[in-house]
């Protein structure tokens, strides 16, 4: 009988790395630094939920951690973005850092709402969990198109938010993975950016509200046995078509009016291109698409855009409150270029010193190995052998002659013999016998 071969269900080596690390997918750290309150700490946790699954959702900050620690650790973990929240005397602030060479965008948080606040104000409660297994879809709205009159920082602002989330590819996108939407809208009047987070819901279209509940499996009128309870109704039409709270015969609602009251007009109805999450959401069926906001909300004011990352910042690309002349800008660019040149020279010098030190240590190790081999060999070398004594010694090191060493050994031997003569005889230990 042939031996059954075991099929391994886990991945090893390169297969694991290829499955875990996807190329082109941005990864982020969302952190808080400095003394912040409980509200900002909760906002950081909410933003982590928005950025899932490509973020460190269980990252724990310590009080002694500095921003430099995260900047040093991020490249080793293939982290591409850093979202840092802090509390200033004026207002909370957020920085988006593109690793590892920048740029850095600094925002002032004008207003914000947490997830719990948004859910408490909504009429319908949402079960949050499975939607966060796939990244959200990014929607940019109300940004001015590229033109000569468009401010130069607007395209950079759009690219900064686009790089936070994975790129959208309609050819490879699976419809069932489109569960959430992040809306970034630009308010030209206030000069702010609004951050919204929604969950996509799909409902049946063209049926009344109660029939929709039966189709979706959310009807409370059905008992545990699956039979509708019509004890309080005179007719089936009273249950299916009557408006809630109107007992009269004229309170019937049509399927079209009910559908429009919940799902909107025909513009919200689409034909599913593929199977979607939920009951009866099959390919080709007509469904009404709806966005339910779950938070958090933020209203951001762009303050500054700088080159580089914190600690290695370059020139200022844009500043909301400070304007400089062309001469001052040129002087700042020259100063930053000189500083970068000096930093590069120091790095090259440090690399040369490290290489030189490694060369010296390797030469010293070779010399030590040669000395050990000489000790193990016999005193009289064989014919034709030559030993390079000068290579193993340092010029500044003092070497004593052999006669001096012999005299020192004789003196040490005489001193040790005299000490032995002066020592008193050892006493015998007394043994006490037990009575």
* 91-147 per-position pLDDT tens digit: 999 999 999 888 999 999 999 999 999 999 887 766 667 889 999 999 999 999 988
* More confident of the two residues 246 and 143: 143
- Please tell me the pTM assigned to this model: 0.68
Q: What is the pLDDT of residue 402?
A: 43
What pLDDT is attached to residue 382?
A: 44
Instruction: Report the percent of the chain where pLDDT is more than 90.
Output: 35
Segment 224-232 mean pLDDT: 64
Kindly report, residue by residue over 256-299, the tens digit of the pLDDT.
Answer: 454 444 444 556 788 888 889 887 788 888 888 889 999 899 99
When pLDDT is cut at 50, 70 and 90, the band that residue 403 belongs to is very low
In the chain, % of residues over pLDDT 70:
66
- Minimum mean pLDDT range among 129-133, 156-160, 287-291, 331-335: 331-335
pLDDT, position 236: 73
Q: Is the predicted pLDDT of residue 159 greater than 90, yes or no?
A: yes
How do residues 166-225 score in pLDDT, each as one tens digit?
998 888 889 999 999 999 999 999 999 999 999 998 888 877 667 776 766 654 444 455
Q: What is the 3-state secondary structure (H, E, C) of the chain?
A: CCCCCCCCCCCCCHHHHHHHCCCCCCCEEEEECCCCCHHHHHHHHHHHHHHCCCECCCCCCCCCCCHHHHHHHCHHHCCCEEEEEEECCCCEEEEEEECCCCCEEEEEEEEEECHHHHHHHCCCCCCCCHHHHCCCEEEEECCCCCCCCCCCHHHHHHHHHHCCCCCCCCCCCCHHHCCEEEEEEEECCCCEEEEEEEEEEEEECCCCHHHHHHHHCCCCCECCCCCECCCCCCCHHHHHHECCCCCCHHHECCHHHHHHHHHCCHHHEEECCCCCCCCCCCCCCEEEEEEEECCCEEEEEEEEEEEEECCEEEEEEEECCCCCCHHHHHHHHHHHHHHHHHHHHHHHHHHHHHHHHHHHHHHHHHHHHHHHHHHHCCCCCCCCCCCCCHHHCCCCCCCCCHHHHHHHHHHHHHHHHHHHHHCCCCCCCCCCCCC
Give the residue-averaged pLDDT of 299-317. Answer: 91
- In this model, does residue 85 exceed pLDDT 80? yes
pLDDT at position 70, please? Answer: 92
Give pLDDT, residue 387. 37
């Amino acid at each position: 009988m042939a031996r059954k071969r075991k099929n391994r269900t886990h991945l090893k080596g390169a297969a694991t790395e290829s499955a875990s690390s996807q190329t082109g997918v941005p990864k982020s750290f969302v952190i808080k630094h400095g003394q912040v309150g409980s509200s900002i700490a909760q906002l950081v946790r909410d933003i982590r939920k928005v950025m899932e699954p490509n973020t460190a959702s269980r990252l724990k900050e310590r009080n002694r951690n500095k921003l430099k620690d995260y900047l040093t650790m991020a490249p080793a973990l293939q982290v591409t973005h850093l979202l840092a929240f802090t509390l200033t005397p004026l207002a909370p602030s957020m920085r988006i850092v593109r690793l590892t060479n920048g740029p850095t965008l600094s925002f002032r948080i004008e207003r914000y709402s947490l997830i719990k606040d948004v859910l408490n104000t909504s009429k319908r409660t949402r079960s949050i969990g499975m939607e966060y297994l796939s990244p959200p879809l990014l929607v940019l709205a109300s940004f001015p198109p590229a033109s000569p009159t468009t401010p130069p920082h607007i395209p950079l602002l759009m690219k900064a938010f686009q790089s936070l989330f994975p790129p959208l590819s309609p050819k490879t996108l699976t419809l069932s993975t489109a569960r959430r939407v992040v809306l970034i809208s630009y308010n030209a009047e206030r000069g702010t950016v609004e951050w919204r987070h929604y969950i996509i819901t799909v409902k049946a279209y063209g049926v009344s509200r109660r029939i929709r509940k039966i189709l979706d499996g959310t009807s409370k009128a059905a008992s545990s046995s699956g039979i509708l309870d019509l004890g309080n109704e005179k007719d089936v039409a009273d249950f299916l078509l009557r408006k809630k709270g109107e007992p009269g015969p004229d309170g019937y609602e049509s399927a079209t009016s009910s559908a429009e009251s919940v799902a909107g007009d025909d513009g919200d109805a689409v034909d599913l291109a593929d199977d979607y999450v939920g009951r009866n959401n099959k390919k080709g069926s007509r469904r009404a698409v709806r966005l339910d906001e779950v938070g958090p909300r933020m209203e951001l004011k762009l303050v500054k855009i700088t080159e580089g990352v914190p600690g290695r910042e370059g020139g200022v690309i844009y500043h909301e409150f400070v304007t400089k002349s062309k001469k001052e800008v040129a002087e700042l660019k020259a100063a930053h270029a000189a500083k970068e040149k000096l930093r590069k020279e120091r790095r090259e010098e440090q690399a040369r010193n490290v290489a030189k030190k490694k060369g010296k240590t390797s030469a010293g190790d070779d010399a030590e190995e040669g000395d050990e081999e000489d000790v193990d060999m016999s005193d009289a070398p064989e014919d034709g052998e030559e030993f390079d004594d000068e290579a193993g010694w340092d010029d500044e090191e003092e070497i004593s002659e052999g006669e001096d060493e012999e005299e020192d050994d004789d003196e040490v031997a005489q001193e040790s013999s005299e000490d032995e003569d002066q020592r008193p005889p050892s006493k015998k230990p007394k043994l006490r016998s037990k009575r």
